[in-house]
């Protein structure tokens, strides 16, 4: 546990130092990566630790984003209570989805969550008079402040994203070491044996999905405030697949895997798009190589090669 905690604190220290050491071009990029990594952490709790393959997490991300954006735009909330509202919206939608979707399993669960996410996307378009559909809502700079802290400025935005990421990462580490975390892993490895030992699979999976939605809602809410935009595109299937790709690339069932995957995927697209318009081909080729040579992701491969202490 000491080595694992030291590694996580070292990552956070490196991200803190990056604000002062890297060129300004990277500040917004890394802030965006940290927010998306929180989203991927939530996905990893459901998929990597509990074995719930979902294609509906865009719904939870968009719920947090729209609850925050509409709270500011329509109801006149300030940024702080709007952020809390977004966090709670993600958790509430995830819980409601889980109550119904967890009556299924495996591929059926994946399809049902996809249907819920698609229904959420169509609902956003249907109520376009309020949500503004694909055009989206631009949150004014004045509304993106907490007290005297202007979250539309580069430095406050970076440290706000770092604060969110730090809390999410350390709570994730604590969760994996808790009794609940061990029960989630037991569900992933052998649900029937876990049931025989007295665990309630439905309760544990629903709890995992609720926590996952809490992370996704927090990420969506933070994205709305930090980057000032809320749009229907964030509710599309692309934003259900992205966290899955981040987790698979970095390592499913590892606490740092979502961040590593988000970081590598973001810069892989950013760098390759500067050389070719076929940057998605480069991404696909990288994922193909990963599946062939490191099917457990980068940190999963590292853990299998001797770093058994990696959480």
Report pLDDT digits (tens) over 105-146.
888 999 999 999 999 999 999 998 898 888 889 998 888 988
**What average pLDDT does the segment 280-296 reach?**
83
pLDDT of 303 over the 90 cut:
no
> Could you tell me how many helices (H) and strands (E) the chain has, helices first?
14, 4
CB 131 within 8 A of CB 137: yes
User: DSSP assignment, residue 149?
Assistant: E
Question: Average pLDDT for residues 286-303, to the nearest whole number?
Answer: 85
pLDDT for the residue 278 = 76
For residue 16, the model assigns a pLDDT of 95
Q: How far apart are CA 182 and CA 287, in angstroms?
A: 29
Note the Cα 126 to chain centre separation in Å.
Answer: 26
Instruction: Give me the pLDDT at residue 250, please.
Output: 92
**Nearest Cα to Cα of residue 42 among 228, 204, 246:** 246
Q: Are 226 and 153 within 8 A, CB to CB?
A: no
Please give the pLDDT value at position 120.
Answer: 94
Q: Is 287 helix (H, G, I), strand (E, B) or coil?
A: helix
Supply the pLDDT for residue 291: 78
Task: Collapse the DSSP code of 138 into the 3-class scheme (helix H, G, I; strand E, B; otherwise coil) and give the result.
Answer: strand
| pLDDT band with cut points at 50, 70 and 90 for residue 150 | confident
Distance of alpha carbon 14 from alpha carbon 69, whole angstroms: 31
Backbone phi and psi for residue 252, each to the nearest 5 degrees, phi listed first: -65, 140
pLDDT number for residue 259: 96
Is 0.75 surpassed by the pTM of this model?
A: yes
Q: What is the model's pLDDT at position 84?
A: 95
What's the whole-number average pLDDT of the chain? 91
Is residue 94 over pLDDT 70?
yes
213 or 152, greater pLDDT:
213
Q: Give pLDDT tens digits for 64-91.
A: 999 999 999 888 889 999 999 999 999 9
- Chain-centroid distance of CA 209 in Å reads 12
Mind listing the pLDDT tens digit for each residue in 214-266? 999 999 999 999 999 999 999 999 999 999 999 999 999 899 999 999 999 99
**Cβ-proximal residues to 284 (8 Å cutoff; 6+ apart), any chain:** none
Rounded CA separation 116/213 (Å): 14
Query: Which of residues 152 and 203 earns the better pLDDT score?
Result: 203
In this prediction, residue 163 carries a pLDDT of 96
* pLDDT reported for residue 1: 61
Range of lowest pLDDT (18-22, 272-276, 298-302): 272-276
Indicate the DSSP class of residue 145. E
In this predicted structure, the answer to whether residue 279 has a pLDDT above a threshold of 80 is no
């Amino acid at each position: 546990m000491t080595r694992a905690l030291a590694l996580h604190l070292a990552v956070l220290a490196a991200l803190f130092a990056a604000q002062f050491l890297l060129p300004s071009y990277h500040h917004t990029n890394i802030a965006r990566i940290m927010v998306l990594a929180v989203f991927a952490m939530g996905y990893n709790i459901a998929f990597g630790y509990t074995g719930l393959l979902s294609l509906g997490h865009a719904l939870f991300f968009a719920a947090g984003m729209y609850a925050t954006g509409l709270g500011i735009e329509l109801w006149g909330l300030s940024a702080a209570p709007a952020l809390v509202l977004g966090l709670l919206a993600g958790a509430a939608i995830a819980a409601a989805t889980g109550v119904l979707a967890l009556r299924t399993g495996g591929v059926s669960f994946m399809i049902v969550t996809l249907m819920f996410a698609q229904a959420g996307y169509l609902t956003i378009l249907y109520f376009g008079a309020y949500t503004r559909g694909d055009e989206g809502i631009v949150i004014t700079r004045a509304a993106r402040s907490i007290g005297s802290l202007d979250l539309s400025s580069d430095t406050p935005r970076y440290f706000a994203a770092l604060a969110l990421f730090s809390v999410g990462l350390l709570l994730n580490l604590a969760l994996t070491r808790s009794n609940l975390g061990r029960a989630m892993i037991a569900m992933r490895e052998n649900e029937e044996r876990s049931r025989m030992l007295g665990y309630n699979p439905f309760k544990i999976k629903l709890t995992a999905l609720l926590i996952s939605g809490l992370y996704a809602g927090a990420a969506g809410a933070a994205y709305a405030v930090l980057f000032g935009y809320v749009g229907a595109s964030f509710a599309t299937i692309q934003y259900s697949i992205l966290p899955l790709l981040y987790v698979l690339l970095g390592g499913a069932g590892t606490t740092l895997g979502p961040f590593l995957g988000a970081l590598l995927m973001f810069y892989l697209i950013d760098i390759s798009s500067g050389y070719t318009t076929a940057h998605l081909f480069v991404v696909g080729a990288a994922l193909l190589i990963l599946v062939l040579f490191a099917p457990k992701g980068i940190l999963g491969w590292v853990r299998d090669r001797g770093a058994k202490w990696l959480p």
